Amino acid sequence: MISLDLGYAMAGLFFAASAVLSAVDRENAKRWKNALFWGLLATSFLFGSRLGDLGNGVLVLALVLLGGVGGLGQGRPATTTPAERLAGAARSGDRLFVPALIIPATALLGTLVLRRVQVLGSPLIDPRQATLISLALGVALALAVAVAWLRPPWLAPLQEGRRLLDTVGWAAILPQLLAALGIVFAAAGVGDVVGGLAGSVIPPGSRLAAVAAYTVGMAVFTVVMGNAFAAFPVMTAAVGLPLIVRRFGGDPAIMSAIGMLSGFCGTLMTPMAANFNVVPAALLGLPDRDAVIKAQLPTALLLLVGNTLLMYLLVFPR
């Protein structure tokens, strides 16, 4: 059976390759710092389950120290030239989008079909992680198709991946860190405190108020923490499960799905989501660092209102 370990191994090997390529890049003044940072991240993906809590904690502190003190450097990967890329784009046209479309198509196929496929009485892929496993398989398939079709230098995919990592820097791992922060907050009882405050304010029989508290709370916590995955365990423990599910009998699957979408509305509104909102502004050379957030703000607010109404209409049994 194919498990999620496949995805961890693929990510770990990529970060390990990035570490090696960074170490040999003499154009990067901080090449050893980059190499150590991506090497530690590769260690986390490849051997994290064997390091234990203390080992993983020390590894995370080392990553924070490396990324926080002076930041990472920008290398100059040896890959295809701009002229070669323009010539290839002119030859291929819109077909260049095919490898990118393979990834979501494979993820959808795996979620709907492959999770039900069995080989010798055992599932082909772990049905509990079918979407993530299918996503990893889609990335591998898209890469294979792109390499076979475009025939770039054999190191070009890794070098281009490293170039993007160098551009984003430490913010590339921000979603993981913030998601872990949400678990820490939930374990520390923050959800219970927020739930107590929400329970004292929300009218006992108001389903709409409970839904609004959950969706708006997801957005607000995401603004503060920078990631909807970090906000989810806190707000679900505080409002979602005790009020929407237990008190009013709401569907937990619908609540969770729309709740995450509400959190993503907060992602559109916060500089804490640096890899989504700050890094693109820097890559585009925008004079206003918050230009991306300002452009997204009206859409985010409208979506939040829409998610609130949608949850209110769908989550409760008729």
Dist. CA 28–CA 165, nearest whole Å: 13
Model confidence over 110-167: pLDDT tens digits?
A: 888 887 888 877 888 888 888 888 999 999 999 999 999 888 888 888 988 888 888 8
Query: What does the pLDDT read at residue 304?
Result: 96
Q: Which residue has the higher pLDDT, 284 or 51?
A: 51
Flag whether pLDDT at 217 surpasses 80.
yes
Query: What does the pLDDT read at residue 254?
Result: 92
| Cβ(202)–Cβ(240) below 8 Å | no
298: confidence class by pLDDT, cuts 50, 70, 90: very high
Flag whether pLDDT at 263 surpasses 90.
yes
Query: What does the pLDDT read at residue 74?
Result: 83
Dist. CA 15–CA 157, nearest whole Å: 13
Return phi, psi of residue 8, to 5°. Answer: -65, -40
| Cβ(202)–Cβ(232) below 8 Å | no
Flag whether pLDDT at 260 surpasses 90.
yes
Give the number of other CB atoms < 10 A from CB of residue 204: 9
Q: Please give the average per-residue pLDDT across 193-220, as a whole number.
A: 84
Model confidence over 227-239: pLDDT tens digits?
A: 888 888 888 888 8
Tokens of 70: 């002076």
Please list, residue by residue across 113-141, b when 16 or more beta carbons sit within 10 angstroms of its beta carbon and e when fewer do.
ebbeeeeeeebbbbeebbebbbbbbbbee
Mean per-residue pLDDT of the chain:
86
Query: What does the pLDDT read at residue 82?
Result: 77
Model confidence over 74-120: pLDDT tens digits?
A: 888 877 777 877 888 888 888 889 999 999 999 998 888 887 888 87
Flag whether pLDDT at 168 surpasses 90.
no
Of residues 27, 62, 24, 71, the one with CA closest to residue 42: 62
Query: What does the pLDDT read at residue 186?
Result: 72
- pTM over cut 0.95: no
Highest mean pLDDT among 22-31, 268-277, 284-293: 22-31
Q: Where are the alpha helices (DSSP H) in 113-251?
A: 130-150, 156-168, 174-187, 190-201, 207-225, 228-235
HEC readout, 23-60 = HCCCCCCCHHHHHHHHHHHHHHHHHHHHHHHHHHHHHH
Query: What does the pLDDT read at residue 218?
Result: 94
Show contacts of 196-205: CB within 8 Å, 24+ apart.
Answer: 198/238, 198/239, 198/243, 199/242, 199/243, 202/243
Flag whether pLDDT at 18 surpasses 90.
yes
Between the alpha carbon of residue 115 and those of residues 118, 142, 257, 270, the distances in Å are 8, 20, 20, 36
8-state DSSP, 4: T
Model confidence over 26-47: pLDDT tens digits?
A: 888 888 999 999 999 999 999 9
Region of residue 121 (left: phi > 0; alpha: psi -120 to 50; beta: else): left
Model confidence over 171-201: pLDDT tens digits?
A: 788 777 777 777 777 777 776 777 777 767 7
Query: What does the pLDDT read at residue 96?
Result: 87
Report the share of the chain in percent with pLDDT over 90.
36
8-state DSSP, 118: E
CA 273 to chain centre: 11
Query: What does the pLDDT read at residue 302?
Result: 96
Query: What does the pLDDT read at residue 14?
Result: 94
